[in-house]
């Protein structure tokens, strides 16, 4: 479903509100953004500003209260659950602060898994997984399980897994926020390098302004809107 000639992500006037009894809580009111293939956009904002909720809407995990969500040129706003799942599986990669690797499987198997679920054969899934892990410097750790890997190595595996199905869009929520500063800086540099090489459009939520300024551009979620910096 991906189309490299279309924006990886487009949010048009997206709003998200919740009801608490008779009170309405507006998380954001009119958030619009376009992320092109090969572009890495940093998403910053105060805690509680709605960054994670915005990523969930972009990743089709939540529905907006109003507005439209396009992934690779496809309007996904009104898709049913089955269709949304298909778009997520094929077109979107996710990276979270905590790696969420499957503990009983090796690094190689963890990166193979989403490809096998998407219908790839074992040989091609293994080649792709090996390629990504080697690009993250993990050639000697392919057969290690998560418990045998350092925190930085685990997150490198998680990023490789997110890229395994060659998504057009990658969404990351504090991808190095659980690492010590030195390891965070190393993983972040590798993350940006490989994302650029893959030509993926990425939206990355982070509190680290220094790291954010290394990305293609930076937007701030403030008072319910996305503002360029």
Question: Is residue 63 situated within a structural domain?
Answer: yes
CB-based contacts of 62: which residues, under 8 Å, 6+ apart? Answer: 16, 53, 56
Question: Is residue 99 situated within a structural domain?
Answer: yes
Query: What pLDDT, in 10s, does the model give residues 40-72?
Result: 999 998 877 788 889 999 999 988 888 999 998
Question: Is residue 4 situated within a structural domain?
Answer: no
Confidence of residue 147 (pLDDT cuts 50, 70, 90): very high
What distance in Å separates the CA atoms of residue 48 and residue 229, rounded to the nearest whole number? 20
What distance in Å separates the CA atoms of residue 58 and residue 64, rounded to the nearest whole number? 9
Yes or no: say if 60 and 37 are a contact pair by the CB < 8 Å rule.
no
Quick one: pLDDT at residue 107?
96
Query: What pLDDT, in 10s, does the model give residues 154-191?
Result: 989 999 999 999 999 999 988 777 777 877 887 788 88
Yes or no: say if 13 and 169 are a contact pair by the CB < 8 Å rule.
no
Query: What pLDDT, in 10s, does the model give residues 96-118?
Result: 877 789 999 999 999 999 999 98
In 3-state terms, what secondary structure has residue 190? helix
Question: Is residue 140 situated within a structural domain?
Answer: yes
Which H or E element spans position 197? helix 181-198
Quick one: pLDDT at residue 30?
85
Question: Is residue 2 situated within a structural domain?
Answer: no
Residue 189 is encoded by which pair of tokens?
């540099």
Q: How many domains, in total, are found in the chain? A: 1
Question: Is residue 3 situated within a structural domain?
Answer: no
- 151-163 vs 181-198: helix crossing angle, rounded to 10: 20
The residue range of the domain holding 155 is 9-228
Quick one: pLDDT at residue 4?
60
Question: Is residue 57 situated within a structural domain?
Answer: yes
CATH code, domain carrying 222: 3.40.50.300
Q: What are phi and psi of 47, to 5 degrees?
A: -55, 135
Closest CA to 39 of 8, 71, 75, 76: 8
Confidence of residue 202 (pLDDT cuts 50, 70, 90): very high
Q: Average model confidence (pLDDT) for the chain?
A: 88
Confidence of residue 3 (pLDDT cuts 50, 70, 90): low
DSSP structure string for 119-187:
T--HHHHHHHHHHHHHHTT-GGGTT--GGGS-HHHHHHHHHHHHHTT--SEEEEESTTTTS-HHHHHHH
In 3-state terms, what secondary structure has residue 229? coil
Quick one: pLDDT at residue 65?
86
What distance in Å separates the CA atoms of residue 36 and residue 188, rounded to the nearest whole number? 20
Closest CA to 89 of 120, 127, 68, 62: 120
């Amino acid at each position: 479903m991906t189309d490299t000639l279309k924006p990886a992500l487009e949010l048009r006037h997206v709003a998200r509100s919740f009801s608490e009894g008779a009170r309405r809580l507006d998380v954001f009111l009119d958030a619009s953004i376009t992320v092109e293939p090969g572009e890495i956009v940093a998403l910053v904002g105060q805690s509680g500003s709605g960054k994670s909720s915005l990523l969930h809407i972009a990743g089709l995990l939540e529905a907006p209260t109003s507005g439209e969500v396009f992934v690779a040129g496809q309007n996904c706003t009104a898709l049913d659950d089955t269709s949304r799942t298909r778009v997520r599986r094929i077109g979107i990669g996710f990276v979270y602060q905590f790696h969420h690797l499957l503990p009983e499987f090796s690094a190689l198997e963890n990166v193979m898994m989403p490809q096998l679920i998407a219908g790839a054969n074992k040989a091609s899934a293994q080649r792709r997984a090996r390629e990504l892990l080697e690009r993250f410097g993990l050639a000697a750790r392919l057969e290690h399980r998560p418990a045998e890997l350092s925190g930085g190595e685990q997150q490198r595996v998680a990023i490789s897994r997110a890229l395994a199905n060659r998504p057009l869009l990658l969404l990351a929520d504090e991808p190095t926020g659980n690492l010590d500063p030195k390891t965070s800086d190393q993983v972040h540099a590798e993350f940006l390098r490989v994302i650029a090489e893959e030509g993926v459009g990425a939206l990355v939520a982070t509190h680290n302004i220094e790291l954010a300024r290394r990305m293609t551009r930076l937007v701030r979620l403030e008072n319910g809107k996305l503002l360029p910096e």
